Amino acid sequence: MDDVIVIGGGPSGLYTAGLLADSGLDVKLFEKKNRIGEDILCTGIIGKEAFERFGLKEDSILSELAYMNMISPFGTSLCYDHGKVFACVVDRKKFDLNLAHKALSCGAKILTGTRVENIRNAGDYIEVTSFSKQRGETKHRAKIAVLATGIDYRLHKKIGLGYPKNFINGAQVELDVVNEEAPFIMVGNKVAPGAFAWNIPVKKNRTRLGLITEKDAAFYLKKLVSGLYPEKASALENARILSKIIAQGPVSKTFSHRVIAVGEAAAQVKTTTGGGIYYGLLCSKIAAETILRQFPADSFGLSGLSEYERSWKKSIKRELLVGYYARKTCGRLGDKEVEKLFQLAKSNGVFPLIRERGKFDWQVDLILELAKKASISSLKTLIKA
């Protein structure tokens, strides 16, 4: 019997496995993809703070962000200069492989190409049934399981965990471009209804163009490519666009008897941008600390594991809720109202406030301060959130 089974080989699962294995536990991780880091839809933007806080290697960094252009529905362009690097763009495959190598070096076992088909609480242990082409169907036992399955919630229903009810749609493509691009964000109901689009350079003459929206993300992405890079539009028709749903808002129950969910499996995702790496790593650390505290007494019942949910919600629940309502509120604005906000930003001292109060992964205080400055009544309701 293993001490811990981790299901899912994304950043949250790999980081949790590494922390637990480094503390001397027998950890086995299952990843359904054949290789770690395959086919990932992610801008790869991670707050600068994350590398130091979580002890991450920096060799996956492709570029750094210190400024961002913002483009309104009517073409008004604002350039925000933070004055220093606030985030990094990473090669997600290398980023994930670094976490995998760290977990392996700590003693964790990683089984790729292995899909977990079932999970069963047997009282004194957790039983997991996996399938791979090499090993066929196999049963495994552990004292506790960690679900880091991303947006795959099949196992949640089998084990009595909550799962997200609200989602937003994302799509992204990586393009070779003639001229080196500056990073920018675009908003507007014709661009990305309910959210925003982005253009993030990853290296010279190569960029990541994507968006999140409450509607058909792939449709709006193709439309965006046609507008910005018409020479790429015909090739994109036959290209494979990565798209996915992104969880929005905290889940009601992220633990049950001998099971914990982390990362996007627990909807620990920034509700403003859809980014999940920082919050996933933060909550993975909380999960690992909780498991280690309960291990000596084998106390993996509801009372022992409830500490995990209290801790992670204390840390980020307010960020998730305020961010969610801020995005929903802004998403309901008409293009003319959004243009008013851009004009307000030009003349109302907004950028100095962002430089002073803005943190890439901690946005509540800034959101509420900006809401106070907004002249649009629907935004002022956020102050009471």
Report the DSSP pairing between strands 45-47 and 77-81.
unpaired
Same domain for 26 and 107, yes or no, is yes
Same domain for 379 and 330, yes or no, is yes
Return the half-sphere exposure (C-beta side, CA atoms, 13 A cut-off) of residue 327. Answer: 24
Q: Which of 266, 295, 316 represents a domain boundary (last residue)?
A: 316
pLDDT for res 341: 84
303, 309 contact by CB (below 8 A): no
Same domain for 25 and 160, yes or no, is yes
221, 209 contact by CB (below 8 A): yes
Same domain for 155 and 263, yes or no, is yes
Same domain for 16 and 148, yes or no, is yes
78 located within any domain? no
220 located within any domain? yes
Place of tokens 């400055």: 373
81, 70 contact by CB (below 8 A): no
Same domain for 255 and 152, yes or no, is yes
Work out the mean pLDDT of the chain and round it to a whole number: 89
> Widest CA span of the chain, in angstroms?
64
β-pair partners for 79: 69
Query: Measuring CA to CA, which residue among 251, 245, 174 is closest to residue 212?
Result: 245
Percent of the chain with pLDDT over 90: 58
pLDDT for res 114: 95
130 located within any domain? yes
The encoded tokens of residue 330 equal 């802004």
Place of tokens 């084998």: 298
380 located within any domain? yes
Phi and psi, residue 296, nearest 5°? -55, -35
Same domain for 107 and 233, yes or no, is no
pLDDT for res 155: 94
Residue type, 28: K
75 located within any domain? no
Q: Which of 229, 246, 263 represents a domain boundary (last residue)?
A: 246
Q: Is the dihedral of CA 130, 101, 147, 8 positive or negative?
A: negative
Same domain for 230 and 331, yes or no, is no
Place of tokens 């929005």: 248
359 located within any domain? yes
What total of structural domains would you count in the chain? 3
Same domain for 146 and 33, yes or no, is yes
Same domain for 99 and 206, yes or no, is no
103, 110 contact by CB (below 8 A): yes
146, 158 contact by CB (below 8 A): no
Q: Is the pLDDT of residue 383 over 70?
A: no
26 located within any domain? yes
Q: Say which CATH number the domain at 208 has.
A: 3.30.9.10
83 located within any domain? no
Name, of 24-28, 296-300, 369-373, the range with top average pLDDT: 24-28
pLDDT for res 385: 47
Q: Which of 316, 344, 365 represents a domain boundary (last residue)?
A: 316
Q: Say which CATH number the domain at 306 has.
A: 3.50.50.60
Structural domain range at position 217: 167-246
- Each residue of 105-136: b (16+ CB within 10 Å) or e? ebbbebbbebebeebebeeebbbbebbbeeee
Same domain for 37 and 143, yes or no, is yes
**Distance from C-alpha of 385 to C-alpha of 381, rounded to nearest angstrom:** 7
Percent of the chain with pLDDT over 70: 94
Same domain for 31 and 141, yes or no, is yes
Rounded to the nearest 10°, the torsion over CA 291, 293, 298, 299 is: -90
Average pLDDT over residues 129-136: 90
